[in-house]
Structure 1
Amino acid sequence: MIFRTDIETNILYKDTCMNIREGTAAMQDIELEQAVEVLLAHTTPVAETERVPLLDAVGRVAAEDVRAGFDNPPFDRSPLDGYTFAAASTRGASAENPVTLRVVGEECAGDFFDGVVGAGECVRIMTGGAIPKGCDCVVRQEDVREDGEQIHVPFTSEPYENYCYAGEDIKKGTVLIRQGQCIRAAHLAVLASEGYGDVLVRRRVRVAVASTGDELLQPGQSLRPGKIYNSNLYLLAGRLKELGAEVTVVGSVPDDVERAASVIASYADKVDVFLTSGGVSVGKKDIMHGVVPALGAERLFWRVCMKPGAPAIAYTRGKMLGIALSGNPFAAYATFELMARAALAHLAGETEVTRPRRRAVLADAFPKACPGRRFLRARIEADGRVSLPDQHESGSLFSAAGCDAFVDVPAGTKPLAAGTEVEVVIL
C-alpha cells in the first residue's frame, strides 16, 4: 500500500490547516441539505442481495416488491364466537316471539363445515371460523338462548351482520412491501399471513467505525489524569447496529496522520463507509485534514452550516465513503442523525432517506439567540408539544438520551418563548 512520505504528508497537513484557519478557498461551508445531496451523489445503493428467513429480515431493506398471492382472509369468516345462519331465518323474531334454529354443526378456527346450512338451521362458530354456505350473518352466543341442539334468537338479524369478507384485509395482487422499504415487525406479520417464509433483501451496509484521539481510554480501563473514555465509539457503533448496518468496530485511532491513514486505508476494499469522530476542527491534533490527502482521497466538503456538528469532513477513497464527525459527543450525534444517516439509508437501498418533519409547539423556552442555524435536542410529549432539556452544549450527551427529535432553529432567530411554533425533525 502506497502512502505519501512523512514530509509530504506533514507539509500537506500544515497547508490544509493554515488554509482552513485563514478562511481561503480551501474551506467549504455548505448547508446541511447540500451536504446530504453531496453524500447521496457520491453513494450508490449496494447491489448484492440475499434471501433471508422472515425473522432475520427485521431492519433489512426489501430488494423487490412482494405481492399478495391470494385474498386475505382467504375465506369469509366470523369475527366472534357465536352462531351463523341465514338472516332471513330470523325475520319477524322478537323477545316476545323468538325464532328457534336447529344446530346442525360446530366449527372452530381451522375447521371447515362441508355442507349447506338450510332455512331454520345454524352452525356453532368460533372466532376465525369459515362461514358455511347458506349463512350470511353471525350473532354473539351471549345474545341467544342455548337449548340443547337448538337456539332461540330474540331479534331479527341483518344480512352480513358480524361478517368478515374474504380479501377484507388484503386483496390478491396487493403490494405487501415495496422495494426500498425498511422491513419492520408488522411487515413480517403481513408477509407471514400470505405464506411467505423468506424475503429478498439487500445486503447490509458495511461500516467501520473509529474514534481519533490520544486521550481516549476504553471502558474498563482505569481512568487517568487527562484521559476520557471513548463514549463516541459506542454511540456510533450502537446507532449503526440499530439501523441495521454490518459494523466493524476499529476502536481508537491515535493522533498521527500516517498511522490513522494506514488504518483507514486497510478498510477501503472491505467496507462501504468508514465513520470516525474527532480530529476535524482546527486544533494541533485535528488530524483528519491531513489524513484525507494522505489517503489519496477526494475531499467532498468540510464544515456544515449548523450547530452543533459544524466541523465535519466527507471524502471518498475508491468506492469507500469516509465521514469524519466532531469529537464532541452531541455534535457527533446530531451530524450523524441529520447527515450521515441519509447516506447510510441511500447505500442500504432505502427510498426514504431523510427524516420526517412536522410543526410543533415548544413546551419550554430557549433563552439564547441563534445567529447561525441550530438544532436543539428535544422530546415529543404525549400532548404533541415539544419539550427541551436544560443542557444543549456540544459536549453534553446525557441530556440527549431521552430525546427523540431535533428542533430546527433558523439562523438569525431570537430567543424562543414557550408556545412558539417550530419545525421538528423526528428521529
Structure 2
Amino acid sequence: MSHLVVFPVGRSSCDAADGLVSLEEARSRAAAWAVPVEGHEEVILDQAVGQILARAVAADLPLPPFDQSAMDGYALAAGDGLPAGSVLTVMGRVAAGDGARTLPPNSALRILTGAMVPQGADAVVMQENVTRAGDRIVLSRMQRPGDNIRRRGEDVQAGETLLVEGTRIDARHVALLAAQGRDTVCVRRRIRVAVLSTGNELRSHGEPLADTSLFDSNRPMVLALARQAGATVVDGGIVPDDPQRIAEALRELATQCDLIVSTGGVSVGDEDHSLVALGKAGGMGECLKIALKPGKPAAIGRIGHAAYLGLPGNPVAALVSWLLLGGAVLAAMNGRRAQPLAGMRLPLTHTFERRPGRTEFAPARLVQTVEGLAAEILGRGGSARLKPLAMADGLVCIDALHAPVREGELVMFHPFRDGFAV
C-alpha cells in the first residue's frame, strides 16, 4: 500500500489531503484496504440469495433432460414436411410426467406442454393450428420437423459450467441450480459489517429528543444497505464526538467484524475525529477528498483484520458514498472486482443549474413523456434531505464537466429497483 497516505495519531481528518481524487481512484483506494474473507459454508439454496459462490458449479444434468413439447397441441411425424390439409387420427394423450410413449404410424397424439415427445414424433402442431372433429385433426398450416419441440440439452449440456466462482447469487441462479436437483450451494462466508454513528446530537429510537438533538437515520439506513448487500450486520450504536470513545468502539468492533462503517466526523470540522480515533485504536488510514457531490469527504483504512470506512454524516452523501466505496470494499472482500453501478442514459425533464468540477448524484424519479422515458430531479438539492430520496426511483449521475444540464440533455440514471445491491 505504498501509494496510500497514512495519517498517524493526532492528525486531523482531511486537513492533510491535497486536491480531489476521481471516483475510480477513490474506489480503487478503498478496495486496496480490504482483504478477502476466508472460509466457505454450505447453505440451503433459497437462503443463498445475496451470497457469493465459493466455487464454480457444473451441470450434472442436461436441460431439458428429454425432448419435450413446448406447446399444448398434437405430436406427429412431419417427415420432410406435412402440408396444410393433412388429416390424422388422434390415438391417445400425453401429459407432463407421463411415461414414454410411441407414436403409431400415420397418427397423432394429443400432447401437453412439458410432456415427453413420443418416440417416432418429430414435431408438435399447436392446437390453434388444427381443426378437430372427434378423433381426427386437420392441419391448417404446414408442419416441419422440430416445430415446437424443446430438444434435450438445448438449454444446458451436462458437464458445462453453469455458474462461475464469485457469482453473486440471486433468484435466477437459485432456479438454475434447483433445476439441477441441488438443494444446497457452497458460498463464501458472509462478511460481518458493523455500523456506528458519531455525533453528540444523535439519539436512537425511544430516547427523548432535546431541542438540539436528532434521531439517527444514517445507522439504520447503512445497516439495511449492508444487509441488502448480503452481509451479516452488527449495530455499533451511537458514539459521542470524542476521539477516545470512538477509538474504544472501533477497537471492540474490530474483534468481531470484517468491516467497520461509521457515519459522520470525516470532514475538516473541530468535531471530525474519525481518523484520529482510528489511529488511537491502533489502526491506520487515509482521508479521501473525492470529486463527488454529495460525499466529497470519506475516510478509509484498517484496524487489525477489519477494514474501516468512514462516510459523511448527511444521509444522501452517506448513501452515495456507500454505493461507491462500500461496494468496492465488499467486492474486494468477496474476491471480486467492483462493478460499475448499472444505469441507463435518459433525458432530463428540466434544466438543472450546477457548477462544474465534481460528479454529482441526485435523487430522481422516472417520468413518461410523449417522447419516452425521462428523469426528473427531485427537491432543491442538498445532502441532508431525506424526503426526495424516499420519493425517488433512483439517482441521476451528472458528469463533472456537464454544467448546467439543459432540458432534454442526457444523464445517467441508476435505478433503486435492484435493492442497492453492490
Q: Same fold (TM over 0.5)?
A: yes
- Equivalent residue, structure 2, for 1:340: 326
| Structure 2, unaligned runs of 5 or more | 1-7, 417-422
Aligned 1:359-378 pairs, distance under 5 A? 359-378=345-364
- Equivalent residue, structure 2, for 1:63: 54
Native 8 Å contact 1:70 1:171 kept in 2: yes
Q: Percent identity?
A: 32
**Residue 91 (structure 2) pairs with residue 104 (structure 1):** yes
- Equivalent residue, structure 2, for 1:408: 398
Amino acid at match of 2:375: V
For 1:100 and 1:403, locate their aligned partners in 2 and report how far apart those are by CA, in whole Å: 56
**1:255 Cα deviation (Å)?**
1.4
Native 8 Å contact 1:136 1:159 kept in 2: yes
Amino acid at match of 1:407: C
**Residue 317 (structure 2) pairs with residue 331 (structure 1):** yes
3-state SS of paired residue (1:60) = coil
**1:353 Cα deviation (Å)?**
3.4
**1:154 Cα deviation (Å)?**
5.5
Q: 1:286 to 1:87 in 2, by over 3 A?
A: same
**Residue 186 (structure 2) pairs with residue 213 (structure 1):** no
Kindly provide the CA deviation profile for residues 325-378 of structure 1, in whole angstroms up to 9, marking residues without a partner as x.
111111111111122221112212344433235543222221232344433333
Aligned 1:25-424 pairs, distance under 5 A? 25=16, 29-88=20-79, 91=82, 94=85, 98-101=86-89, 103-114=90-101, 116-153=102-139, 156-381=142-367, 383-401=372-390, 402-411=392-401, 413-424=402-413
Alignment TM-score, normalising by the size of structure 2:
0.88
Amino acid at match of 1:307: K
Native 8 Å contact 2:88 2:137 kept in 1: yes
**1:147 Cα deviation (Å)?**
4.8
3-state SS of paired residue (2:297) = coil
Of stretches 255-264 and 218-227 in structure 1, the one that deviates more from structure 2 is: 218-227
Amino acid at match of 1:370: P
For 2:19 and 2:303, locate their aligned partners in 1 and report how far apart those are by CA, in whole Å: 19
For 2:338 and 2:393, locate their aligned partners in 1 and report how far apart those are by CA, in whole Å: 22
**1:390 Cα deviation (Å)?**
2.1
The two structures, once aligned, show a CA RMSD in angstroms of 2.5
Q: 1:359 to 1:206 in 2, by over 3 A?
A: same
Q: 1:291 to 1:168 in 2, by over 3 A?
A: same
Native 8 Å contact 1:274 1:321 kept in 2: yes
Amino acid at match of 1:107: V
Amino acid at match of 2:107: E
Amino acid at match of 1:62: L
**1:403 Cα deviation (Å)?**
3.5
Native 8 Å contact 1:300 1:316 kept in 2: no
Q: 1:408 to 1:150 in 2, by over 3 A?
A: same
For 1:287 and 1:106, locate their aligned partners in 2 and report how far apart those are by CA, in whole Å: 76
3-state SS of paired residue (1:267) = helix
Q: 1:127 to 1:20 in 2, by over 3 A?
A: closer
3-state SS of paired residue (2:388) = helix
**1:305 Cα deviation (Å)?**
2.6
Alignment TM-score, normalising by the size of structure 1:
0.87
3-state SS of paired residue (1:312) = strand
Kindly provide the CA deviation profile for residues 112-143 of structure 1, in whole angstroms up to 9, marking residues without a partner as x.
234x3232222221110000111111123354
For 2:82 and 2:412, locate their aligned partners in 1 and report how far apart those are by CA, in whole Å: 59
For 1:190 and 1:200, locate their aligned partners in 2 and report how far apart those are by CA, in whole Å: 15
Of stretches 255-264 and 363-372 in structure 1, the one that deviates more from structure 2 is: 363-372
For 1:20 and 1:265, locate their aligned partners in 2 and report how far apart those are by CA, in whole Å: 21
- Equivalent residue, structure 2, for 1:3: none
3-state SS of paired residue (2:70) = coil
Figure out how many residues of one structure are paired with residues of the other and give that number.
405
**1:235 Cα deviation (Å)?**
0.9
| Structure 1, unaligned runs of 5 or more | 1-10
Native 8 Å contact 1:105 1:113 kept in 2: no
For 2:136 and 2:81, locate their aligned partners in 1 and report how far apart those are by CA, in whole Å: 14
3-state SS of paired residue (2:29) = helix
Kindly provide the CA deviation profile for residues 203-256 of structure 1, in whole angstroms up to 9, marking residues without a partner as x.
111100010011111123333200100000111011111111100011101111
Kindly provide the CA deviation profile for residues 84-107 of structure 1, in whole angstroms up to 9, marking residues without a partner as x.
12124984662xxx5232x33321
Of stretches 345-354 and 44-53 in structure 1, the one that deviates more from structure 2 is: 345-354
For 2:78 and 2:359, locate their aligned partners in 1 and report how far apart those are by CA, in whole Å: 66
For 1:337 and 1:90, locate their aligned partners in 2 and report how far apart those are by CA, in whole Å: 57
Greater percentage in helix: 1
**1:192 Cα deviation (Å)?**
1.0
For 2:273 and 2:29, locate their aligned partners in 1 and report how far apart those are by CA, in whole Å: 23
3-state SS of paired residue (2:68) = coil
For 2:139 and 2:296, locate their aligned partners in 1 and report how far apart those are by CA, in whole Å: 74
**1:290 Cα deviation (Å)?**
2.1
For 1:137 and 1:323, locate their aligned partners in 2 and report how far apart those are by CA, in whole Å: 60
